[in-house]
Amino acid sequence: MFFAVLSSALAMSQAVAQNPAAKTVPEKSKAQKYIESVASNDILRQASLGVFAMTEGGKAIASFNQEKRLVPASTMKLITSGAAMHQLGPDFKFTTRIGYSGEIKDGVLEGDLYIVGGGDPTIASKDSIALRRDALFAQWKGFLDKAGIKKINGSVIGDGRYFDGPIERDTWQYQDIGTSYGTGGDGLCFYENTIDMKVSHGATVGSQVNVLVSYPSLPWMRYIFPCKTGPAGSGDQLYMFTSEFAPYAEVRGSFAIDRQPKTEEFSNKFGAYTCAYYFREYLVSKGVDVTRGVADTRLGRIRTDLSSLDPGPYAAKVDDLKMIGMTYSPALKKIVRECLLQSDNFYAESFYRILGRRLHHSAQADSCKAALSDVLKRLGAPADDIKIDDGSGLSRDNYVSPEYFVEFLSAMMDSPVFGEYIETLGQPGERYYEARLKGESEALKSRVHLKSGSMGGVRCFSGYIEPSEGSKADAIVFSIMTNNLTVSAGRVDPIIDRIITLLAADN
């Protein structure tokens, strides 16, 4: 049923961009009156609030600070994923290739085996859409069997050169880059470049937190745990501090004495190396001897010892490798669906970087930004008046207005991939959105498609509202953004839910 007629979508985006009057609510809707009333209450009075909602036909029905550029947090993923689907197509798949240097003689590879990443973020992921690790490795080993390789007199090398440049943005907060949501990666990853650790409080307040590395096993890493058991009510304040420059990490902070044991997810900065390590272990378990261990590539060199300052020998050029097989990721639309539901930063950054790599031949930050801007311009939503810093929204240097979100989401309605794109958004009541619009009817909830965005002091929602059954009203595109909050999301969410409910009631 959703948006069966899309012919007015382009007119809508043009109305936003070209007609200042379209931004003004001609007659105050219930939503508009409510927004104006809550903007001065104790929760939002000293915060920054921006709201814009417009019908598919171009009529503004709610508008408050709609031009104010605000930090979007994870609603940035709406833009990145939509642009990737529009440019690459919903059925696009990332690739991973297996190749080798040297020669095969009597079943022995006299050279190195390369796992050549193509940006697939789902390799060995715990996500349900991903192929299980051993099933994927069985496919890779099958390529060796077909090539007649029974022994490798060399190394297994994880090659992530497809995505050049730093593995994370330098504008991300220091405490974020050691967390699972702040992990980065190059062209080859493993388990979304995260590591699980089982944590539990110590015997007394002030005692050391119990931490046990769970999966994946990273024997090259050295971990220090100067984290303490905190008083009751102090929550989980554990952060890991690490980098790609050395195999060393510290878990700092506190874990409250009244907290239940849990599995904490942190960042693994050596995804390509980890992938090579686990594939080598798999090969050995299947009777394929690998004589020289594992390595990855960094700055064009082969790195076997992560602790060494020796840059190592040059890696073979990818074009010079003899490729023996290729595997594929799930379809982009499936990855986007999980990305938006789980607000997966790692997936979103992969979309951002693949655009840079394919359109500007580089995954460096400037190339990715230029590529995304190119796609947005062709889509009909040029990013001239916003600031883009990353693909996930983790950076606080992203600045987007509610008005731009409405313009972008309206332009997506005119994209040939819109039918698939709308299916990737969340809906109130489904997984990860169980608490949204609580108490409202299922009929109303089923009409709302949205994405949330949250970080310290930031709470945002943007999306679409379908017309009610039998209504002749147009669909609504909306964006609600709050910044500089000093209260919890639990106090802000009811206000945002009420705005969405009132917008839907007017439709």
| pLDDT tops 90 at residue 32 | yes
State what percent of residues in the chain have pLDDT above 70. Answer: 94
pLDDT one-digit tens code per residue, 242-279? 999 999 999 999 999 999 999 999 999 999 999 999 99
Per DSSP, 134 falls in state H
Report the CATH number that the domain containing residue 83 is assigned in CATH: 3.40.710.10
CA angle 350, 352, 354 (to 5 degrees): 65
Position 26 confidence tier, pLDDT thresholds 50, 70, 90: low
Are 188 and 100 found together in one domain? yes
pTM across the whole model: 0.94
CATH code at 183? 3.50.80.20
Q: What is the pLDDT of residue 116?
A: 98
For residue 235, the model assigns a pLDDT of 96
Q: What confidence score (pLDDT) does residue 325 get?
A: 98
Predicted confidence band of residue 469 (pLDDT cuts 50, 70, 90): confident
CA–CA dist 280, 157 (Å, integer) = 9
Among residues 278, 308, 330, which one ends one of the domains? 330
Q: Letter for the amino acid at 191? A: Y
What is the mean pLDDT of the segment spanning 298-319?
Answer: 94
Residue 1 lies in a domain: no
Residues 127 and 223 in one domain: yes
Q: Is 237 helix (H, G, I), strand (E, B) or coil?
A: strand
Does residue 342 form part of some domain?
yes
Note whether 113 and 131 are same-domain residues.
yes
pLDDT of residue 13 exceeding 50, the answer is no
Q: How far is CA 464 from the centre of its chain?
A: 21
pLDDT in tens, 434-457: 999 999 999 999 999 999 999 999
Res. 219: pLDDT tops 90: yes
pLDDT digits (tens, 9 = 90+) for 82-133: 999 999 999 999 999 999 999 999 999 999 999 999 999 999 999 999 999 9
Kindly state whether residues 190 and 281 are assigned to the same domain: yes
Residue type for position 318: V
| Residue 216 and residue 131 share a domain | yes
Q: Which residue has the tokens 């299947």?
A: 286
Q: Residue 139: is its pLDDT beyond 90?
A: yes
Beta-strand relationship, 248-256 and 222-224: parallel
Task: Say what the pLDDT of residue 8 is.
Answer: 42
> What strands, in cross-sheet order, belong to the sheet with 476-483?
60-64, 48-55, 476-483, 458-465, 448-455
For residue 241, the enclosing domain spans 93-330
Separation in Å, CA 139 to CA 98, 131, 142, 325:
10, 11, 5, 9
Number of domains in the chain: 2
Minimum mean pLDDT among 18-22, 39-43, 381-385, 503-507: which range?
Answer: 18-22
The C-alpha atoms of residue 258 and residue 99 are separated, in whole angstroms, by 51
Q: What string of H, E and C letters represents the secondary structure of 165-222?
A: CCCCCCCCCCCCCCEHHHCCCCCCCCHHHEEEEEEECCCCCCCECEEEEEECCCCCCE
Same domain, yes or no: 297 and 338: no
Count helices and strands in the chain by DSSP H and E runs: 12, 22
Last residue of a domain, one of 306, 330, 354: 330
Q: Residue 463: pLDDT above 90?
A: yes
Domain assignment present for 248? yes
Backbone angles phi, psi at 274, to 5 degrees: -65, -40
Percent pLDDT > 90 in the chain is 91
Confidence of residue 468 (pLDDT cuts 50, 70, 90): confident
Could you tell me the strand order of the sheet in which 194-200 lies?
210-215, 194-200, 262-267
- Mean residue pLDDT across the chain: 94
Both 323 and 410 in a single domain?
no
Query: Looking at the predicted structure, is the pLDDT value of residue 473 above 90?
Result: no
pLDDT at 6: 41
225 close to 201: Cβ distance less than 8 angstroms: no
**Which pLDDT score is estimated for 436?**
95
Spatial CA neighbour of 475 closest among 463, 487, 493, 492: 463
| pLDDT above 90: residue 378 | yes
- pLDDT tens digits, one per residue of 475-498: 999 999 999 999 999 999 999 999
Q: How far apart are the first and last CA of the chain?
A: 15
Same domain, 277 and 348: no
